[in-house]
Structure 1
Amino acid sequence: MHYGARQDQYLQFYEPQHITAAGAVMIIHGGYWREKYTAELGVPLAEDLAARGIPAYNLEYRRGPGSAAQMLADARLALGLIKEEGPITLIGHSAGAQLACVLAAHDERVSQVISQAGVLDLESAQHLKLSDGAVDQMLAGASLSAYSPVELWPMRARVVIFHGRDDADVPLRIARSAAQKAAALGQEHSFALFAGDHYTWIDPRSSQWAACVRALSPLHY
């Protein structure tokens, strides 16, 4: 389903043969907001959810330098295409978790965000110059506070913060900082650490992904 004129403005729907869950889940891929990383990263997860009876959507969106506002606009349009009634969970990996949280802060249809190794604190990521200054490239002068999840809390949606102890791409300190700020701000959240690196989360055979699936209960079951 295309929601815009650009080639990268589309939402893939994975329809279960037999629906066993209420609402729907939307996958938002990461890649430090760079165009070379695509929605293909989210396909295995969406397929797995559909096989479990969960209506699943996989988002592609505009990325690249100065894309902060475009990404949010795209995500809002795509969210409007979700036809299922009931709770909506966004599962965002890495930079996709940043977009998921910003979307949830702007649209109350979102009930929950599951952050898989998420870049949830842009100020910390900027200070650490993660991925060769990816935050500055994405913002290109846009307000950091308008697009940093921790600056938008508290919000209505619950946030599940998952992170791997061996993550070399998004340091563990980012997740710890986000969890501390969530607690201080009164943001409903949970925080759990697992073995594994930055990419274990997007392997549908992993125990980390199994934890993400479990986090859909009791909201969707």
Structure 2
Amino acid sequence: MPPAAQPVLHVYGRHASQYAELWLPETRLHDVVAVIVHGGFWRQAYGAELGRPLAADLAARGIVAWNLEYRRMAGGDGGYPETFMDVATGIDALGAALAQAGIEDGPRIGIGHSAGGHLALWAAGRSLLPAGAPGALPEGSRSLDGVVSQAGVLDLGLAHRLSLGNDAAGELMGCSPESGAAAWLAADPAARDLPAVPLVMLHGRADADVPVELARSFASRAVAAGARVDYREYDGDHYGLISPGDPAWEATVEALLEVGGGAARGEEPHKLPLYRLPTGILKSSPPEKR
């Protein structure tokens, strides 16, 4: 693969963490635009550096990538609603960045790892938020046309009940689901209608950071509700997904091109029906293949 050029920095706010990097291939070979949302349990200790190897690898494959940074908690001035507002604003800034670079827009597919999977799916559903809610989609704007979740923490409430990452979900929200019900409802994709965009879920059976049972539970309920979810489980851990050259990363690229290709062919996700997940518990077996 040819080496990727250095990214172009775009600042979308005054805070040091309010920026994104536009990675452009030497020769564009695919219409899709990858929006990379890094993980790290929403904490300041982990940043956009996690997404740079992925963006560089995608650019070397002829894919435009937008590596998004945002305010995080535990020393980064983030949490609810700041983290969510940054993700929304950062995605909204993509169109102008592409235009400035003279690059045609294309299907925008979010690639979110761990906590970034939660934020990517949340961003895809911004049109479902009530007007005035943090991150609600402005009229006439677009967010994401699909999501590839890499071991995503897609069920925020369940992550809180399991105290994943020393209750990173509770720390993110700054309140309990009981004391801040409206905020949790707005922040948790599993608590609202699922956005009408395709979702591919990738999860390793040996994941010690985000248990595979959480993914199985979300996917089982989503499939049962009739949502457009493709769940793909594999033998692997939490980090192969963000390691270029690893089979899990290759599966991510494959999913990105599949979802982006569907959007490029004229499929209209916004016309798909919306589905609300039924209340459920952790499942010990993956959903049936469809």
TM-score by length of structure 1 reads: 0.95
TM-aligned CA deviation for residue 75 of structure 1 = 1.3
Q: What SS is found at the alignment partner of 2:236?
A: coil
1:83-98 maps to which residues of 2 (within 5 A)?
83=98, 84-98=104-118
Give the one of 17, 23, 27 matched to 1:14: 23
Larger radius of gyration: 2
Question: Which of the pair has the greater relative contact order for Cα pairs under 8 Å at 6+ separation?
Answer: 1
1:92-135 deviations in Å (ceiling 9; x for gaps) = 00000010011100154311111101101112111111111111
Between the aligned partners of 2:171 and 2:86, the Cα distance in structure 1 is: 18
Identity of aligned pairs, percent? Answer: 40
Between the aligned partners of 1:191 and 1:219, the Cα distance in structure 2 is: 13
2:143 pairs with 1:113? no
Q: Which residue of 1 aligns with 2:37?
A: 28
Which 4+ stretches in 1 moved above 3 angstroms?
218-221
Give the one of 46, 68, 75 matched to 2:87: 75
Q: Which residue of 1 aligns with 2:236?
A: 196
1:122-168 deviations in Å (ceiling 9; x for gaps) = 12111111111111100012522221122233212211111000001
TM-aligned CA deviation for residue 81 of structure 1 = 2.1
Q: Which residue of 1 aligns with 2:276?
A: none
User: How many pairs does the alignment contain?
Assistant: 221
1:145-164 maps to which residues of 2 (within 5 A)?
145-164=185-204
TM-aligned CA deviation for residue 219 of structure 1 = 4.1
CA contact (8 A) 2:117 2:149 kept: yes
Alignment RMSD:
1.5
Between the aligned partners of 1:217 and 1:8, the Cα distance in structure 2 is: 29
Structure 2: which amino acid aligns with 1:62? R
TM-aligned CA deviation for residue 16 of structure 1 = 0.4
**Unpaired runs of at least 5, structure 2:** 1-9, 99-103, 128-141, 262-290
**Unpaired runs of at least 5, structure 1:** none
Between the aligned partners of 1:134 and 1:165, the Cα distance in structure 2 is: 22
* Higher alpha-carbon deviation: 146-155 or 126-135: 146-155
Q: What SS is found at the alignment partner of 2:152?
A: coil
TM-aligned CA deviation for residue 76 of structure 1 = 1.5
TM-score by length of structure 2 reads: 0.73
